[in-house]
Structure 1
Amino acid sequence: MNNDKADKEPIENTEENVSNEIETAEELSVEAQLQEELAKEKDKFLRLFAEFENFKKRTAKERIDLFKTANQEVLQAMLPVLDDFDRALVQIAKSDDEVMLKGVELIHEKLKNTLVSKGLEMVDVKAGDEFNPDFAEAITQIPAPSDDLKGKVVDVVEKGYKLGDKIIRFPKVVIGQ
């Protein structure tokens, strides 16, 4: 009978060992599964966080751009008035009325300085400059008065203006062909 008992003990120990190994394997499997889920959730969190940071940056940039160009419509509406002042100054300068010329010049300067303080800048295009369609609008072409004016600005019909880096009215020019 001793032999029977001795024969049964290793089998029981083996069964215990196998069940312990199965439990350990199951625990490792569950732990690996939990680690995988944790990694997925961590990745999801990092992506969501990065997306939120991008959203914050984008909305901050949009807000800054909005403040920069908030006056655009008002400034665009004022540009014809500024043009009229320029034409009036040319005509009044032809007359002999110095007092009226001085008064109109003062009002013109005040209006111009106010618009400049709000961010308005003149687009610098003058006769003789190389024509660049990114910064000027060609309204017509005329035969060039001289060979050196071919493909260049011959006359500026209407001044152009920009607000910050954005051109709100392109200068209208005549180019030589």
Structure 2
Amino acid sequence: MSNNKKQSKKAQTEQSQNNDDLKQDIKTEIDEEQTEINNETDFEQAANCSEESKEEDLKQISPEQESNEAYSDLQDKYIRLVAEYDNFRKRTRKEKDMLYNSSLIDVCKVWLPVLDNLDRAVEALDKLESSESEQMSEGLAMVQKQANDAMEQLGVKEIKSLGERFDPQYHEAIAHVDNPEYGEDEIFEVIKKGYIKGDTVIRHSVVCVAN
């Protein structure tokens, strides 16, 4: 009988403990839910304050400030556009000049043998002593001058060679002789004339060099 009472009392104690634990769990859940609600409320309030702050900032920007900012943006875009166009124009002009010079040099290379033949014809006629050859020589000399003038108008010039010091940048030597009458590396004979346009050598002068 005594054992039954003890067991009953123990059961009552355990039941009471379980009830207390249940109450504590319920209270904890209620506190957690309340905390979440408070956090959500704080977040909403902060968001509302942020939106209100943005609206206040926008209201503080005057129409004059907006106009100045828009003008500055347009001015920056205009300056960039002008700079880009200027660079494009310079690049296009440079490419055009390079293409023109390249085409002109190609044409001159084809035309130079004609000038060489004119030079040879004038030299050959000058060696003849007849009146007819003299008249022909004068006529060819006029044609030769016109051809050379046309080349100069195109910016193509003859490379000075006779009596000049040999320069491998402009001259091509096919013979070397020792002759005290000439200076060191002096060109004493031009076999074929050379031509240049600007800094570009179209054809080197073919020459004979002394000493």
Partner of 1:126 in structure 2? Answer: 162
Relative to structure 1, the CA distance from residue 147 to residue 104 in structure 2 (aligned partners, 3 Å threshold; closer, same or farther) is closer
Partner of 2:193 in structure 1? Answer: 159
User: Partners of 1:21 and 1:93 in 2: how far apart?
Assistant: 101
Following superposition of structure 1 onto structure 2, how do residues 1-177 of structure 1 map, counting pairs within 5 Å?
Answer: 19=49, 23-24=53-54, 49-67=82-100, 70-117=103-150, 118-119=153-154, 120-127=156-163, 129-140=164-175, 142-146=176-180, 149-177=183-211
Which has the larger Rg?
A: 2
Shift of 1:168: 1.2
Contact 1:68-1:164 at 8 Å conserved across structures: no
Which structure has more relative contact order (CA 8 Å, sep 6+)? It is: 1
Once the two structures are superposed, residues 85-104 of structure 1 have per-residue CA deviations (whole angstroms, 9 ceiling, x without a partner) of: 22222222222222233224
TM-score, normalised with respect to structure 2: 0.54
TM-score, normalised with respect to structure 1: 0.62
Unaligned runs of 5+ in 1: 1-14, 32-38
The structure that is helix-richer by fraction is 2
Shift of 1:138: 2.6
Could you say what secondary structure the match of 1:172 adopts? strand
Shift of 1:160: 0.9
In terms of mean alpha carbon deviation, does 19-28 or 58-67 score higher?
A: 19-28
Amino acid aligned to 2:53: E
Partner of 2:19 in structure 1? Answer: none
What is the aligned-residue RMSD (CA, Å)? Answer: 4.0
Could you say what secondary structure the match of 1:80 adopts? helix
Relative to structure 1, the CA distance from residue 44 to residue 22 in structure 2 (aligned partners, 3 Å threshold; closer, same or farther) is same
Contact 1:130-1:153 at 8 Å conserved across structures: yes
Contact 1:82-1:112 at 8 Å conserved across structures: no
User: Partners of 2:202 and 2:186 in 1: how far apart?
Assistant: 22
**Count of matched residue pairs:** 154
User: Partners of 1:126 and 1:174 in 2: how far apart?
Assistant: 9
Relative to structure 1, the CA distance from residue 110 to residue 164 in structure 2 (aligned partners, 3 Å threshold; closer, same or farther) is farther
Amino acid aligned to 1:152: E
Relative to structure 1, the CA distance from residue 42 to residue 71 in structure 2 (aligned partners, 3 Å threshold; closer, same or farther) is same
